[in-house]
Structure 1
């Protein structure tokens, strides 16, 4: 007698929102997709219980969540949210007999082979080729996940790249970094290259407090030269960062951008502020032009990665 396909509950927890869905045999059920504001819940357990109540779904056979923070020994701490999550907590909240926790960029990496072509928007560079890729998340925070195809398996490695140092090649960059520094005097990458980072960068440059959305809007309509300069600074720092990462991982299979802030700035990645910073690597400048840059347009891609991991 054939058994029905295994069902799982999958979730992608960002710094601002949590996306939740059901999956069957590794495939996300689009009718079950929901997005919740983290500020409306005290923790992930309450989000998952609420989703099960709203969808009137039975206990899943497994649960897999991706979180924006480091994961170790079956537990993870959100970097930009005061939530700590463990596999035992997930089992208790959902009634599932097994659970798995991933870093959110790892989930994006596991999703890459399973997303349709419509989920990708090429930005520049040649067609992807090769078995090495790099996922870069720019949203409430910043992070990466190197991806390698090996022997029919997709290997995805965790990182916390957003906590590395902001590049400061010029005196003006170093002065800006000093103004962004935390209480220890350290300036992490995501303190400038993220949604909140753009707002902080603009404030450090101008003393004016605006949201990232407001800065981008002023940049788009050309009404605020200071906002335009802040966006150009953001793009240049992003270009410097991605060029360093490209030389570290040689992702000829593509650099894949994901996250809300990456989608907001992707229309501007053909500007000299970004392209010059990304391509200018001295004798390796020709190599830089060989790395494809691609936007992941599917806002729920990490759920596909979670579904595939827990089904495997």
Structure 2
């Protein structure tokens, strides 16, 4: 039986899956990425626990710009060489793709139940699609129709310059410039970005966290602690995050004109669905002056499937070489 290995590798977790030729998942496991010195160590542990099966082909979706057969991760101190991995594990074909290329590929495998629609718009089935997702970083990919399906064009759009829209956001920009120099959207529209927004609100005197929130952020995922808190500083941070997210997606939409739909993936949007549905995201998304009505015609969906990147990587692993 031919087995295929697929991986969705991010700065926070590495999700691995073994599947058969029909796409049925036989084994799936998540690993905390930062606890491992190399990707080879994670793959070795996963395959050893699976009984060292023979792998026909593998696709690794990685959080970083892919250059040929190599990649250097953006949020991990890893470098990966596909040929070295193929030789080490005896896999005849190892494909590297950007993690948001995998998200783009996975859109084709989604069901209606995997989507929550924020704006129905006027969808065109063969129109350009846009995938954007805030998680450990901010991923952006564009999809264009090629006659039999959508081709995915990954990008590093998350690193475009932050464009503040009001006095508070200008103040945030200056605060982050003092920390980083260059400030991209990823500095604010991501898990670490949400924490940075909290730090800005705290340090600039806009709000003060309680000892309970400080402890929660120190002892667990700080971004998750903020999304789960009802404290004023946490709510302000999430509100500002959502407004910046909506504005960023609106900018990307003006560039791509995705009449086939905008798909919000990443880990954060699905975890704050009620807040995303309250209207602040769409208000910031639509706030483009003369082009508001154009943006109102574009479908906007939140992807609720937890493993869309793995779906795309699995499809790429089984694709003809």
TM-score where L is the length of structure 2: 0.88
Q: 1:301 aligns with which of 305, 308, 315?
A: 308
Deviations 1:101-157 (A, max 9, x none): 000000111111123333222233336433211111210000111011211132100
Which stretch has the larger CA shift, 31-40 or 263-272? 263-272
5+ unaligned residues in a row in structure 1: which ranges?
none
Runs of 4+ in structure 1 off by over 3 angstroms are none
Is the Cα contact below 8 Å between 2:118 and 2:301 reproduced in 1?
A: yes
Q: Aligned match of 1:95 in 90, 95, 98?
A: 90
**Could you tell me how far apart the structure 1 residues matched to 2:117 and 2:141 are?**
19
Deviations 1:86-115 (A, max 9, x none): 111321332101111000000111111123
Deviation at 1:302, TM superposition (A): 1.6
Determine the C-alpha separation between the residues in 2 that align with 1:218 and 1:291: 32
The aligned counterpart of 1:67 is 62
- 1:106-121 superposed matches below 5 A: 106-121=101-116
Aligned residue for 1:245? 252
* Aligned-partner Cα distance in 2 for 1:214–1:184: 24
Contact 2:246 2:282 (C-alpha < 8 Å) held by counterparts = yes
| Aligned with 2:232 (options 225, 235, 258) | 225
In structure 2, the CA distance between the partners of 1:12 and 1:282, relative to structure 1 (3 Å rule), is same
Structure 2 counterpart of 1:24: 20
CA distance in 1, matches of 2:68, 2:298: 34
Please state how far the C-alpha of 1:79 moved relative to its aligned partner. Answer: 0.6
State the match for 2:188 in structure 1. Answer: 192
1:147-196 deviation digits (Å, cap 9, x = unpaired): 11211132100101121111213343222112113665111211111011
- Counterpart position of 1:156: 152
Is 1:9 the counterpart of 2:16 in the alignment?
no
Of the structure 1 ranges 201-210 and 50-59, higher mean CA displacement relative to structure 2 is found in 201-210
Within the alignment, does 1:257 sit opposite 2:260 as a pair? no
Does the 8 A contact of 1:74 with 1:87 survive in 2? Answer: yes
CA RMSD of aligned residues (A): 1.9
1:167 and 2:174 correspond: no
TM-score (norm: length of structure 1): 0.91
Tell me which residue corresponds to 2:36. 41
Count of matched residue positions in the alignment of Structure 1 and Structure 2: 303
- Matched-pair contact (CA < 8 Å) for 2:4–2:20: yes
1:140 is paired with a residue of what secondary structure?
Answer: coil
CA distance in 1 between counterparts of 2:72 and 2:22 reads 26
Query: Deviation of residue 306 (structure 1)?
Result: 1.6
The verdict on how the C-alpha distance between 1:149 and 1:87 changes in structure 2, with shifts beyond 3 A counting, is: same
The answer as to 2:130 corresponding to 1:123 is: no
Partners in 2 of 1:169 and 1:147 — Cα distance? Answer: 28
